[in-house]
Amino acid sequence: MAPTKKSDSLNKKSLSIDRSIRDEAKRKPREFQALVLGSESRLDILAAAKLKGGKSYTSDELNSYKRLVIKILTECARAIVQEIRRLKIDPEAKYFWRYVELIDGYCNGLELSTKTYWELDPAFVNALESILQNPRVSGLLEPSGESALPSSAEYFFAEISRISSFDYMPTEMDIIQATSSSTGIYDTRLRVNDLSIHLFDIGGLSGKIKKWIHHFDAAKFIIFVVDLDQYNQGSRMAENMRLFETMVNSKWFIKGSIILLLNKTATCRNKLQTSPLADYFLDYTGGRDIRKAADYILGRFYNLNREGVPVYPCVAENSDVSTLGCVLATMKEALLNEYLRDTTRIF
């Protein structure tokens, strides 16, 4: 039967639709999720990703984040005062305890107030800075300390002078720390050529892995950050190793890949000159060579991978845009390897 004008028209329309679908597929980037876990410098990478994404905040959004930052800082102050009372630190130091009472009263007043607070009282700031000079108080901020303060406490206490200034506006890092502290999750999107990456920082949930892990089973990558300069802070490195072991052997991620980022090699190189790695890892024999030290720590993490999940190492100098570039390049390598594996299976 000869084709009719109507069938010709339908065929042309069908071909046009097929062409549109192909064109759209070319334009539409491949989308996937990546979880970001590990050491604190992971937040610097997220900040770099946010800047690369090019999205800026409105004035209203910045003011909203300003209120959130101040709220969280005062919550951290209240938490450290509660620990000081519980541990009865320096009970005979009258000036010290006057500062404690002042901080406590200020935080209680904010909690009872119906007003939105925008600025920190100078007396509160002075009192907080004063008690933080006490070695036992500052020791509470260490992971191996006697308490479990909010994870963002160390960051916000270090930045209190800047945050309390009259013209303060939150930086990208302030926003990441505040959001992660308040919800446990911070996310940002990044588009690189034909890739659309949805990054989730879930460091605020790392203590509740069994409760949340299945919610992210669609994640294609885990970007696991290890700050090499923490090798002499046993509790932090051990905590990272425990978390990595849990994630790399989880049934929820057996189809994914892990980018293992060894960060802060420059700082680690300097520290090795005065603080030998062998003092903390007795089987290490590589001396002060940063490459041997990095290979050793990398091997310690590799040995935790019992499920044979693909792990791609990435070694970087500092936490900045170049580090993000290292991560993205490694991510592309992993995607290429996956494509080659799939192609091999076909043939």
What pLDDT is attached to residue 156?
A: 92
Q: Is residue 59 part of an annotated ligand binding site?
A: no
- Given CATH 1.10.400.10, say whether it is the number of domain 59-173: yes
Coil/strand/helix, residue 31: strand
190-211, pLDDT tens digit by residue?
A: 877 777 888 888 766 666 676 7
Q: CB of 53 within 8 A of CB of 189?
A: yes
Show me where the domains of the chain are located.
Answer: 32-55+185-341, 59-173
Burial class (CB in 10 A: 0-12, 13-18, 19+), 170: buried
What pLDDT is attached to residue 204?
A: 61
What pLDDT is attached to residue 21?
A: 47
Is pTM beyond 0.95? Reply is no
Q: CB of 241 within 8 A of CB of 297?
A: no
Region at 193 (left for phi over 0; alpha for psi -120 to 50; beta for the rest): left
Alpha helices in the chain (DSSP H): 5-27, 42-53, 59-87, 94-112, 122-131, 135-139, 153-158, 160-163, 172-183, 209-212, 234-248, 265-272, 290-302, 321-346
Residues of the chain with pLDDT under 70: 1-29, 53-55, 111-118, 143-148, 181-184, 203-208, 210, 318-321, 341-347
57-103, pLDDT tens digit by residue?
A: 788 888 888 988 998 899 899 999 999 998 888 888 888 999 999 99
Amino acid identity of residue 110, one-letter, is L
CATH architecture of 32-55+185-341: 3-Layer(aba) Sandwich (3.40)
